[in-house]
C-alpha cells in the first residue's frame, strides 16, 4: 500500500513537472501571464509530492519492508533506525529520489521570490528547473524504480516487478543485505547530502543565466539575483568534498585523504568551475567584463554537475564510491549532450551582446590576475577531465580500459596549484584597472621577507625537499600577504574614523564580507597546504607480522602488540580489536585500538584505524590480518603522517570563511544593475 502511494506520488510529480513546462511555454507563446502563473504553481506543487515519495521510501526502510527490492538491498534488521533513514541515499534508486527531492525544494523556493521586477525571467527559470527535475523523475520511474517489489513465480523464480506478474505471490526475505559498511561511517551519512545540495543549488544560477540569454538581458541582473545561491552551492559542495576526504582518511585504510578516484574527481570538477565563476563574477559586477566567460563557466558547472552524477550512477568507471553498473548511463550522456549543445547555441547567438564594457589595461591589474586565476582552474579541470575519460577512450579504441593513477594527476596539477597559491599572494595587492610592477613591489616586500624567513627556518629544521621548501615559501607568502592586507585595512579605518583597532577590525570585516571572508578562506587554504605538504612529501610507512608481545618500529615510534580480542558488537558486527602500545624515543604515549569490523548482514569487513593525532603528526595503525589459533600473531600496517591535522584545521577555517562570506546581509538583488552600454536591451523590466 505504501509502495503504491509513493510510486503514485512519483508519477504525479512527473506529470505535474511536464504540465509546468508546457504551461510556461504556452504562456510565452500566447502571451498569457495566467499560464505562466499556473506553471509557477505547478512547480510549487512538486515539492510536497516529492516529499510524500521520499517519506514513503523512508517508512518502508525503517519498517523493514523487505518485499521492496530497494529496502532488501540497503537495510537489515540489525541496522539502527538512523542508518535506515540515511539508506535513502545509500543506493542508486534512493539517491536519485533524494536528488529529485532537493531539486523540487530548490525550484519551489526560487518560485516564492517576488518576480515583479524580473517577470521575463520567470517562465524560463520555471522551464529549465522543471526540465532538470523531469529528467531525474523519468530515470526513477522507468529505469531505477525504488518501489519495485519481489515476486515469486510458480516455478520458484524471484523476479523484481512493480506489480504482480501472472500467478505470482509477494516474496518477503527474512532479512536484508544491509548497507555497505563503508557507508555507515558518520562522514558518509552527511557527505552525500552536502554534495547533492551543492549540485542541485548550482542548477538555479544556471537557470537564471539561460533565462538572461534567452531574453537578451546583457546586464548583471541575473548574477545579483543568484549570488547567494552560488555562494551556498559552493559552500555545500566544498563541505561535501571535505567530508569525503575525512571519510576516506578514517575508513578506507590506506593512510590518505584523496586518492584521485574517478568519483572524487567527478565532484571536484564542478567545484573548480564554480570557484572560477565566483571569482569571475566579481569582475563583471565591478568592471563589466568577462560576461561571455561567466556564461560559459555556469554552463560548464551545470553540465559537470550532471556529468558527476552520471559517473557515480552509471558504473562506467571503477570506484569505491560508484554504484553498480546501470542502464541509466546512456540517458545521462544524452541529456548532458543536449543541454550543453542548446546552452552553447544560445550563448553563441548572444555572443556579441555580451562583449565587455571595458578592456584590460594592465596585465598586473586585479581583473587580469583574476582571469589568470580562472585559466589555472581550467587547466586543473582539463587534467582531471582527461584523466577521468581516458579509460573510456582507451576502451573505445583498443578494447582495454586503461586507467591513470594519482601520479598523473599530482605531476600535472602540482605546478597549476602552485600558480594558484602565488596568485593568492599577488592578487590582493593589485588594484582595479591599472597596476604596475613598482606598486606591487612596494606592497609585497614585507610579506616576502616573512616568507623568506620561514623558508630559512624550514632549512634549519632539516627540510631539504625542494618541492616542500617551495610549497612552504608560497604558503607563507599567502599567509603574510593576507595578514598584511587585513592590517592595512584596519589601520586605515582606525586612522580615518578614530576607532580602536578592535572596533575597526570588526566593522571593516562585517561591511565587506565577500572580501574579508575570502581572506579567511585563504588562511584556511594555507593551513590545508601545510597539511598536504606534510602528508604528501614526508609520509612514511611500514608493515609487519609480529607475535603477541612483538614490536614494530617506524622512525622514532615503537609499537608493541599487546593483545587481541574478538567479540560481537552492536549492529550485527563481529569485531576483532587489537591493543597496541605506542612509545616514542622510549617514552610511553598510550595505546591504540585498531580493529576489523565484519558485518554479517552484508558479509563485508571494514578496517578502522587506531590514530594518535597531534598538531605535529598522526600515527595511523591498521590491523591487516590476525591468526586466531597459531602463534604467528597479527599483521599491522603503520603510517606516520606529518602535519596532516593542519589539513583538517584548515578545512574548518575554510568552512568558517565560507559561512561568513555566504551569511545573508542586504539583498544584493536590490542593488543598482550595471547596464551594458554596448548592446541594446530587449527588456524594460528594470
User: pLDDT by residue (tens digit) across 71-95?
Assistant: 999 999 989 899 999 999 988 899 9
In contact, 274 and 230? CB cutoff 8 Å: yes
Question: Strand 540-546 vs strand 149-152: parallel, antiparallel, or unpaired?
Answer: unpaired
Using DSSP, state whether 592 is helix, strand or coil.
strand
DSSP result, 67-111: TBHHHHHH--TTS-HHHHHHGGGTSHHHHHHHHHHHHHHHHHHHH
Please give the DSSP secondary-structure letter assigned to residue 669: G
Whose CA is closest to 152, among 136, 134, 166? Answer: 166
Per cent of the chain over pLDDT 90 is 58
pLDDT over 90 at 190, yes or no: no
Instruction: Specify whether 259 is located in the same domain as 162.
Output: no
Whose CA is closest to 347, among 302, 308, 287? Answer: 302
pLDDT over 50 at 196, yes or no: yes
Using DSSP, state whether 33 is helix, strand or coil.
helix
Radius of gyration of the chain (CA): 28
pLDDT of residue 667: 54
Segment 270-313, tens digit of pLDDT: 999 999 999 898 888 888 888 999 999 999 999 999 998 887 66
pLDDT of residue 508: 78
Instruction: Specify whether 222 is located in the same domain as 367.
Output: yes
Q: In the numeric block, which cell numbers belong to residue 378?
A: 581550467
In a domain, 666, yes or no: no
Spell 214-248 as b/e; 16+ CB within 10 A means b.
Answer: bbebbbbbbbbbbbbbbbbbbbbbbbbbbbbbbbb
**510-537 mean pLDDT:** 89
DSSP result, 181-205: GGGGSHHHHHHHHHHHHHHHHTHHH
Separation CA 644–CA 663 (nearest Å) = 29
Question: Strand 610-613 vs strand 617-626: parallel, antiparallel, or unpaired?
Answer: antiparallel
**With bands split at pLDDT 50, 70 and 90, how would you rate the model's confidence at 515?**
confident
Task: Return left, alpha or beta for 156; rule: phi > 0 is left, psi -120 to 50 is alpha, else beta.
Answer: left
pLDDT over 70 at 390, yes or no: yes
Separation CA 55–CA 45 (nearest Å) = 16
Instruction: Specify whether 212 is located in the same domain as 136.
Output: no
Question: Strand 573-584 vs strand 587-592: parallel, antiparallel, or unpaired?
Answer: antiparallel
Whose CA is closest to 473, among 417, 411, 422, 531? Answer: 422
Sequence-separated (6 or more) residues with CB below 8 Å from residue 680: 353
In contact, 94 and 88? CB cutoff 8 Å: yes
Instruction: Specify whether 249 is located in the same domain as 357.
Output: yes
Sequence-separated (6 or more) residues with CB below 8 Å from residue 273: 297, 300, 301, 304, 377, 378, 381
Whose CA is closest to 652, among 238, 258, 256, 252? Answer: 238
In a domain, 681, yes or no: no
pLDDT of residue 631: 59
Separation CA 240–CA 247 (nearest Å) = 10
Chosen domain end from 179, 195, 217: 179
Chosen domain end from 131, 151, 179: 179
Sign of CA dihedral 386, 388, 392, 394: positive
pLDDT over 70 at 581, yes or no: yes
pLDDT of residue 678: 47
Instruction: Specify whether 418 is located in the same domain as 399.
Output: no
Instruction: Specify whether 74 is located in the same domain as 114.
Output: yes
Whose CA is closest to 646, among 534, 482, 558? Answer: 534
Q: In the numeric block, which cell numbers belong to residue 81?
A: 533506525
In sequence order, the β-bridge partners of residue 545 are: 635
Separation CA 316–CA 325 (nearest Å) = 7
In a domain, 337, yes or no: yes
Segment 606-657, tens digit of pLDDT: 889 999 999 999 999 999 988 765 557 899 999 999 999 999 999 999 988 8
Chosen domain end from 148, 164, 179: 179
Place of cell 587585513: 486
**With bands split at pLDDT 50, 70 and 90, how would you rate the model's confidence at 543?**
very high
pLDDT over 70 at 681, yes or no: no
In contact, 535 and 623? CB cutoff 8 Å: no
In a domain, 609, yes or no: yes
Q: Select, from the ranges 216-220, 461-465, 485-489, 599-603, the one with the highest average predicted confidence (pLDDT).
A: 461-465
Segment 329-360, tens digit of pLDDT: 788 889 999 999 999 999 999 898 888 777 77
In contact, 294 and 219? CB cutoff 8 Å: no
Using DSSP, state whether 324 is helix, strand or coil.
coil
Tally of domains within the chain: 4
In a domain, 125, yes or no: yes
Separation CA 455–CA 422 (nearest Å) = 15
Whose CA is closest to 288, among 600, 678, 680? Answer: 678
In contact, 201 and 293? CB cutoff 8 Å: no
Separation CA 90–CA 321 (nearest Å) = 11
Separation CA 392–CA 401 (nearest Å) = 7
Separation CA 304–CA 302 (nearest Å) = 5
**With bands split at pLDDT 50, 70 and 90, how would you rate the model's confidence at 672?**
low
Separation CA 376–CA 273 (nearest Å) = 11
Q: Select, from the ranges 104-108, 164-168, 519-523, the one with the highest average predicted confidence (pLDDT).
A: 104-108
Q: In the numeric block, which cell numbers belong to residue 649?
A: 584545521
pLDDT over 80 at 243, yes or no: yes
Separation CA 610–CA 621 (nearest Å) = 5
Separation CA 104–CA 47 (nearest Å) = 5
Q: In the numeric block, which cell numbers belong to residue 405?
A: 593513477
Place of cell 598522526: 618
Let me know if 448 is exposed, middle or buried by CB neighbors in 10 A (0-12, 13-18, 19+): middle
Separation CA 214–CA 216 (nearest Å) = 6
Instruction: Specify whether 69 is located in the same domain as 173.
Output: yes
Q: Which domain holds residue 622?
A: 540-645
pLDDT over 60 at 550, yes or no: yes
Instruction: Specify whether 205 is located in the same domain as 270.
Output: yes
Element (H, E) at 291: helix 291-314
Considering the chain, what is the average pLDDT of its residues? 88
**208-220 mean pLDDT:** 90
**With bands split at pLDDT 50, 70 and 90, how would you rate the model's confidence at 682?**
very low
Separation CA 213–CA 223 (nearest Å) = 12
Segment 418-467, tens digit of pLDDT: 999 999 999 888 887 777 788 888 889 999 999 999 999 999 999 999 99
pLDDT over 70 at 27, yes or no: yes
Whose CA is closest to 196, among 241, 140, 149? Answer: 241
Instruction: Specify whether 394 is located in the same domain as 496.
Output: no
Separation CA 230–CA 238 (nearest Å) = 12
**244-268 mean pLDDT:** 87
**539-546 mean pLDDT:** 93
In a domain, 597, yes or no: yes
Element (H, E) at 144: none
Let me know if 586 is exposed, middle or buried by CB neighbors in 10 A (0-12, 13-18, 19+): exposed
Using DSSP, state whether 445 is helix, strand or coil.
helix
395/594: higher pLDDT? 594
Instruction: Specify whether 145 is located in the same domain as 191.
Output: no
Instruction: Specify whether 263 is located in the same domain as 354.
Output: yes
Whose CA is closest to 39, among 22, 63, 57, 59? Answer: 22
Let me know if 105 is exposed, middle or buried by CB neighbors in 10 A (0-12, 13-18, 19+): middle
Instruction: Specify whether 503 is located in the same domain as 464.
Output: yes
Separation CA 672–CA 686 (nearest Å) = 10
In a domain, 133, yes or no: yes
pLDDT of residue 321: 46
Per cent of the chain over pLDDT 70 is 94
Separation CA 429–CA 89 (nearest Å) = 45
**124-138 mean pLDDT:** 97
In a domain, 667, yes or no: no
Instruction: Give Cα separations from 301 to 61, 203, 290, 452 (angstroms).
Output: 34, 9, 16, 38
How many CB atoms within 10 Å of residue 51?
A: 15
pLDDT of residue 62: 96
Amino acid at each position: 500500500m505504501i509502495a503504491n502511494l509513493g510510486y503514485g506520488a512519483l508519477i504525479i510529480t512527473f506529470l505535474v513537472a511536464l504540465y509546468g513546462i508546457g504551461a510556461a511555454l504556452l504562456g510565452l507563446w500566447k502571451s498569457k501571464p495566467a499560464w505562466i502563473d499556473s506553471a509557477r504553481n505547478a512547480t510549487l506543487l512538486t515539492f510536497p509530492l516529492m516529499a510524500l515519495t521520499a517519506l514513503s521510501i523512508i517508512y518502508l526502510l525503517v519498517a523493514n519492508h523487505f518485499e521492496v527490492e530497494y529496502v532488501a538491498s540497503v537495510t537489515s534488521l540489525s541496522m539502527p533506525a538512523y542508518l535506515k533513514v540515511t539508506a535513502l541515499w545509500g543506493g542508486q534508486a534512493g539517491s536519485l529520489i533524494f536528488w529529485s527531492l532537493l531539486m523540487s525544494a530548490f525550484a519551489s523556493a526560487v518560485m516564492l521570490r517576488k518576480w515583479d521586477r524580473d517577470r521575463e525571467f520567470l517562465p524560463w527559470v520555471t522551464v529549465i528547473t522543471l526540465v532538470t527535475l523531469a529528467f531525474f523523475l523519468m530515470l526513477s520511474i522507468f529505469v531505477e524504480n525504488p518501489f519495485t517489489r519481489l515476486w515469486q513465480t510458480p516455478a520458484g523464480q524471484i523476479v523484481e516487478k512493480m506489480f504482480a506478474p501472472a500467478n505470482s505471490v509477494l516474496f518477503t526475505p527474512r532479512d536484508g543485505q544491509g548497507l555497505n559498511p563503508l557507508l555507515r561511517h558518520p562522514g558518509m551519512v552527511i557527505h552525500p547530502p552536502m554534495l547533492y545540495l551543492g549540485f542541485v543549488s548550482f542548477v538555479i544560477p544556471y537557470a537564471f543565466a539561460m533565462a538572461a540569454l534567452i531574453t537578451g538581458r546583457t546586464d548583471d541582473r541575473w548574477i545579483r539575483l543568484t549570488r547567494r545561491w552560488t555562494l551556498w552551492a559552493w559552500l555545500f559542495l566544498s563541505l561535501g568534498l571535505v567530508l569525503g576526504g575525512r571519510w576516506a582518511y578514517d575508513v578506507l585504510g590506506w593512510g590518505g585523504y584523496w586518492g584521485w578516484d574517478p568519483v572524487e574527481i567527478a565532484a571536484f570538477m564542478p567545484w573548480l568551475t564554480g570557484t572560477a565563476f565566483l571569482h569571475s563574477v566579481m569582475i563583471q559586477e565591478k568592471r563589466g567584463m568577462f560576461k561571455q566567460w561567466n556564461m560559459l563557466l555556469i554552463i560548464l558547472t551545470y553540465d559537470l554537475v550532471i556529468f558527476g552524477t552520471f559517473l557515480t550512477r552509471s558504473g562506467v568507471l571503477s570506484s569505491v564510491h560508484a554504484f553498480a553498473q546501470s542502464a541509466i548511463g546512456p540517458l545521462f550522456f544524452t541529456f548532458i549532450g543536449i543541454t550543453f549543445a542548446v546552452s552553447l547555441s544560445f550563448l553563441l547567438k548572444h555572443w556579441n551582446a555580451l562583449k565587455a564594457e571595458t578592456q584590460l589595461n594592465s596585465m598586473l591589474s586585479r581583473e587580469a590576475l583574476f582571469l589568470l586565476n580562472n585559466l589555472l582552474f581550467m587547466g586543473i579541470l582539463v587534467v582531471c577531465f582527461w584523466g577521468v575519460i581516458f579509460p573510456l577512450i582507451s576502451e573505445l579504441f583498443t578494447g582495454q580500459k586503461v586507467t591513470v593513477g594519482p601520479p598523473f594527476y599530482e605531476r600535472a596539477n602540482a605546478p597549476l596549484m602552485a600558480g594558484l597559491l602565488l596568485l593568492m599572494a599577488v592578487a590582493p595587492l593589485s588594484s582595479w584597472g591599472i597596476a604596475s610592477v613598482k606598486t606591487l613591489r612596494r606592497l609585497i616586500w614585507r610579506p616576502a621577507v616573512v616568507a623568506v624567513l620561514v623558508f630559512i627556518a624550514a632549512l634549519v629544521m632539516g627540510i631539504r625537499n625542494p618541492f616542500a621548501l617551495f610549497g612552504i615559501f608560497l604558503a607563507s607568502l599567502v599567509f603574510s600577504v593576507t595578514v598584511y592586507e587585513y592590517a592595512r585595512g584596519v589601520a586605515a579605518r582606525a586612522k580615518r574614523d578614530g576607532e580602536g583597532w578592535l572596533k575597526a577590525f570588526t566593522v571593516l570585516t562585517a561591511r565587506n564580507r565577500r572580501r574579508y571572508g575570502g581572506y579567511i578562506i585563504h588562511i584556511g587554504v594555507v593551513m590545508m597546504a601545510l597539511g598536504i605538504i606534510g602528508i604528501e612529501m614526508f609520509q612514511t610507512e611500514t608493515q609487519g607480522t609480529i607475535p603477541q608481545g612483538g614490536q614494530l618500529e617506524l622512525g622514532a615510534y615503537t609499537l608493541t602488540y599487546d593483545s587481541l580480542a574478538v567479540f560481537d558488537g552492536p549492529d550485527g558486527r563481529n569485531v576483532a580489536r587489537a591493543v597496541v602500545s605506542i612509545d616514542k624515543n622510549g617514552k610511553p604515549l598510550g595505546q591504540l585500538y585498531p580493529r576489523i569490523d565484519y558485518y554479517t548482514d552484508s558479509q563485508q569487513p571494514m578496517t578502522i584505524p587506531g590514530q594518535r593525532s597531534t598538531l605535529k603528526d598522526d600515527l595511523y595503525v591498521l590491523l591487516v590480518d590476525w591468526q586466531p589459533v597459531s602463534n604467528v600473531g597479527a599483521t599491522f600496517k603503520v603510517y606516520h603522517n606529518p602535519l596532516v591535522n593542519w589539513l583538517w584545521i584548515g578545512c574548518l577555517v575554510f568552512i568558517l570563511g565560507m559561512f561568513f562570506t555566504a551569511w545573508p546581509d542586504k539583498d544584493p538583488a536590490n542593488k543598482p544593475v550595471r547596464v551594458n552600454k554596448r548592446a541594446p536591451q530587449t527588456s524594460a523590466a528594470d
